[in-house]
Structure 1
C-alpha cells in the first residue's frame, strides 16, 4: 500500500466529529482555503467547455430580447441542439437516461402531449380526463405490483392505492414525508429515523434532509444486498420505516425484501420498496422465468412502493407512481388548507399545478404497450444484459459486482476503472461512475437491444482496458474527480466542489 492510500485509510478511521472539526480548521486558514478554491476552480474550468458547447455557436439570452423571435427561429435553434445531442442515446451509447427511444413511440407520446398540453389536474372540474388518466395509471401499476393478491378479502379502504409524482425522487420523498406524519400522529414519534442500506438511492437522504428524519445507513453484504442482521440492530423506538431496493441503483442487485419487510411488519412500522428502476421490469422478468425474489405487495410487510413510469414504463419524463397499502396511510401524503382567504385548497403531492399532458402520456404509454409489449421489451433487455455480463467477465482484469439482472456494475483490481470509464467516454459512451467500491455501471435499456450495440460496447470496453493498462500514467479529466470522491475524508470539501459544479450549470 502506498503512503497516500495509507493516510486515507487512517483518516477514514478517525471519528466523524474530529474530521469535521479538522475540516473547519483547514477551511478557516486563508492560505489553505485559497489553495482549495484554486484547485477546485481549475478542475471545473476544464469541464466548462463540455457543459457549455453552444457558446459562440448559437445566440445567448441573459435578458429578454426586445422583440420576440419568430417561431421558425426558435424551432430552428432547438432543432440544431437536438441534432447534436440525440445521436448518442439513439445509438445506444448511454447508460439508462432514455429507456425506449423508438421514433414511432416518441412521436406518439408527443401527439398525446399536444392533445393535453393545457390540462391540469388541479382543476379537476375542467379536466376530468386528467384525473381519469392518473387514477388508471395508479391502478394498472398497483395491479402489476401485487395489488390483486394484497387486496383479496380486504375492505376497499385497505386496498393498494397511490398517486403520480414528477419522478422517482418525488415519489420517495412523498413516501418518507407520509411516514413521518403517520408516525407522529399514530405513535407520537417526534424524532423519526429511517433505516436504509448504504446502496439505497440518495433521494432518501434528500428526504431525510428536507423533512427532519434521521438517516441510519447500514452496510451491505459481499453480494451488495442489504444486511438483514445489521438492519435489525439499527432499529429502535424512533424508527418509522425500513428501506429496500428492487434493484439498487449502484449495483442492480435486489435487497432481501421479504426478510426486511418482515422486520418492519413485526415492529408495526413502514417498509418501502424502492422499485423506481425495477418496477416495470421485475414483474415481467418473473413471468419470463428469471429468478426474481418477492419484492412487492404480495409481501404483507411491504407498505409502500415507488415505480417510475418514465423509466421502463416508457412514458415521457417525468412521471412516477408512489403506492401505499391503504388510504389511511396515503392520507398523510395529502395537504389541505381550510382557512385561506383564497378558498379551500388541497393537493395530493408537492406540486399544486401539475402537467396533465405528462400524466396523459404515462397513461398512453401503458395502455399502448400492454402486457405483451412489456414482456417482449423485458425479454430483449435481459437477453442483452446477459450477453454484456458474459462479455465483461471474459475481459481480463474486470469483474461484475454481485448478481445483477439489467443494471450491471463492474470494477477492477488491476486497472483504474475511472480511467477506463474516461476512455469509454472518448469512444462516445456515457456510463455511470460509482464509488465505495470504485466501479462503473451500465443500465441496459431498449436502446442497447439494437443489433450490434452490445458487441460494440464490449469491443470498446476491451480496447479501453488495454489502453489504460498500457498507459497507467495518464491522468484524464474526470477520473481525478471520481477518485477524489472515493477517497477524500473531508466530505464538506467534496460537497463544496459539487455546489460549484451546480453553479457552473447556471452560468449563461
Structure 2
C-alpha cells in the first residue's frame, strides 16, 4: 500500500491512476471484465488462462508510463531489461535467502551487491574501521535499519532518551522510523531559497542525547543535495553519527560526478559520514524491493542483530529486521549491476542529466514559474503568480503524472529513463505552455485546483488538512485501505 503524506492535501478525485476497467470507479478495477475471486476456487484455472489475463492487465497498465510522462515510478522503463531481470529472478524466486546452507548463491549475490555499492560510495576511503552493509527491502527499510543501529549504539552507551536531527526535506521515512523505534525526531527548517539545511541550524538542535544527523543526496522534494561536508564536520565535532540518505540519488549522482556535473562529495570520502542508504530498485535499475545500507564501521551494523537462544524451536539469530526473503530479488539486483557496469550506468546517467537540464530550461523560460533551489537529475517548480496545482490538473489528461509538493506548493518531476525518449521534452514544453494559460485563467477566477500535495501522487480527496487532525486522517486512511482491498458488491 502507498504511504500517504497528509499534511496539506487538495481535493482530488478518488482514483489511483488510469481507469483501465471501463467502470465509473477504480475502487474495483477490472471487475467488469474478469472473474472476482470471493473465495478460493474449488477448481483451479488453467495456467495459460491465468497468464493471458495477467498479460492483458500488465499491457494496459504499462501504457500509463511508457510515453515518458510519469515522474519517477519506472526508473528503467526498458522491457528488455525487465525481461532479463525477470529471468534472473525466476531462477531464484523460490529460494529463501535465510537458507544459506542450501543456497550458497545468496551469500555470493548479497556480498557482491554490498561490495559493488561500497565501491560506488568510495569505501576505499574508510580507514581505521572495516566497512560493511546490508541489503534491505527498500529505502524505508534502509532508513529504519540505520535509525535502529544508532538507537542501539546509544542504548549501549547509557543514552535512553535518544534523538535524531534531520532537515525538513529529509524523507518522511525517518519520521516513521523514529515513531516506530521510540526515538525523538528533531526537524530543522531549510533555507527557502536554496532548499538546503545549514550546519549552523542543525547544530542548534543537537544536545547530549543526539545520536545522529541526517543529510540527503538528493532530497525527495527538490532533488537538491545537502551540504554533507559541513554536516560531516559537525558530526565529528559533536561525536555523533551522520546518515546520508542517497536512496534517490545513490545510483545516479556518482555517475553525474564522473560526467562533470556539479555533484559535491557526499559519500565515505567525507569524514563524519557513518552510514549511507542507496536504493538499487531506483536508479540501480533492479526490481522493486531492494536497497543497500552501508556502514563505515561494522561495529555499528551490529545494532541490527537479534538473538533468542532459549526458544523451543532452536537457537534463533537474525542479522536484520527481515526474516524470510526471496532469493530472486538478490539475484535480479546482482544481475542488473553486473550487466550494466559503470559504463552502462554512466550512459544512462548522461541521458538523465541532459534531459533534466532540458526540462528545467523549459520551466525557467516560463515567466510564471521558478525552479526550487539548484537541482540535478530531479527538480520541483513553483509559482508566485498562479495556483501550480492547476498546471498539474491540465497536464494530467495528457498523460503527465507529477508529484505535488507543499510549503510552498510545487510540482515535482523525477527524471528517469522513460523521459529520455525522443519527443518527451518537446511534449513537456508544449503541454506546459498550455497548462500555464489554463492555470492563469482558473487562478484568476478563484477556482480551486483538483490535485494537490500527495506523496507518490496518490489522490485521496482530502482538503486543507494539517497535522493536527490525527483521528480524521486515520479514518480517511481506513477508508482508503478498505476501498483498495475490497471486493465489488455482488
TM-score of the pair, normalised by structure 1? 0.87
Gaps of 5+ in 2: 1-9, 17-23, 454-458
Shift of 1:83: 1.6
CA–CA distance in structure 2, aligned partners of residues 304 and 500 of structure 1:
38
Gaps of 5+ in 1: 1-39
The reply on whether 1:191 has 2:161 as its aligned counterpart is yes
1:125 equivalent in structure 2: 101
Aligned counterpart in structure 1 of residue 270 of structure 2, from 299, 311, 316: 299
Aligned counterpart in structure 2 of residue 56 of structure 1, from 21, 27, 32: 32
CA–CA distance in structure 2, aligned partners of residues 231 and 483 of structure 1:
35
Aligned counterpart in structure 2 of residue 68 of structure 1, from 44, 59, 65: 44
2:4 equivalent in structure 1: none
CA–CA distance in structure 2, aligned partners of residues 353 and 498 of structure 1:
28
Aligned counterpart in structure 2 of residue 207 of structure 1, from 177, 183, 195: 177
| Structure number with higher helix proportion | 1
1:392 equivalent in structure 2: 363
CA–CA distance in structure 2, aligned partners of residues 43 and 486 of structure 1:
11
- Once the two structures are superposed, what CA deviation does each residue of 1:120-178 show, in whole Å capped at 9, x if it has no partner? 22000011001110010001001110101224xx3xxx222101001000000000011
CA–CA distance in structure 1, aligned partners of residues 204 and 178 of structure 2:
20
Shift of 1:486: 6.1
2:240 equivalent in structure 1: 269
1:219 equivalent in structure 2: 189
Instruction: Give the 3 Å change call, closer, same or farther, for CA 53–118 of structure 1 in structure 2.
Output: closer
2:5 equivalent in structure 1: none
* SS across alignment from 1:163: strand
2:468 equivalent in structure 1: 490
- Once the two structures are superposed, what CA deviation does each residue of 1:28-68 show, in whole Å capped at 9, x if it has no partner? xxxxxxxxxxxx9x977677823433232222223212211
Aligned counterpart in structure 1 of residue 419 of structure 2, from 448, 456, 459: 448
The reply on whether 1:178 has 2:149 as its aligned counterpart is yes
2:115 equivalent in structure 1: 139
Shift of 1:440: 0.8
Instruction: Give the 3 Å change call, closer, same or farther, for CA 499–261 of structure 1 in structure 2.
Output: farther
Shift of 1:485: 6.2
Map 1:232-271 → 2, pairs under 5 A: 232-271=203-242
Instruction: Give the 3 Å change call, closer, same or farther, for CA 357–45 of structure 1 in structure 2.
Output: closer
Shift of 1:496: 3.9
CA–CA distance in structure 2, aligned partners of residues 321 and 486 of structure 1:
36
Shift of 1:471: 3.1
Aligned counterpart in structure 2 of residue 356 of structure 1, from 321, 327, 334: 327
Shift of 1:269: 1.2
* SS across alignment from 2:44: coil
1:113 equivalent in structure 2: 89
TM-score of the pair, normalised by structure 2? 0.90
* SS across alignment from 1:478: coil
Conserved? CA contact 1:122–1:347, under 8 Å = no
Instruction: Give the 3 Å change call, closer, same or farther, for CA 163–479 of structure 1 in structure 2.
Output: closer
Shift of 1:489: 6.2
* SS across alignment from 1:164: strand
CA–CA distance in structure 1, aligned partners of residues 132 and 230 of structure 2:
23
Conserved? CA contact 2:106–2:330, under 8 Å = yes
Shift of 1:91: 1.5
1:327 equivalent in structure 2: 298
2:484 equivalent in structure 1: 505
Map 1:411-450 → 2, pairs under 5 A: 411-450=382-421
1:27 equivalent in structure 2: none
Map 1:26-105 → 2, pairs under 5 A: 49-105=25-81
Superposition CA RMSD, Å: 2.0
The number of equivalent residue pairs is 462
CA–CA distance in structure 2, aligned partners of residues 65 and 506 of structure 1:
19
Instruction: Give the 3 Å change call, closer, same or farther, for CA 495–255 of structure 1 in structure 2.
Output: farther
CA–CA distance in structure 2, aligned partners of residues 346 and 262 of structure 1:
36
Comparing 481-490 with 375-384, greater Cα deviation is found at 481-490
* SS across alignment from 2:187: strand
Conserved? CA contact 1:485–1:494, under 8 Å = no
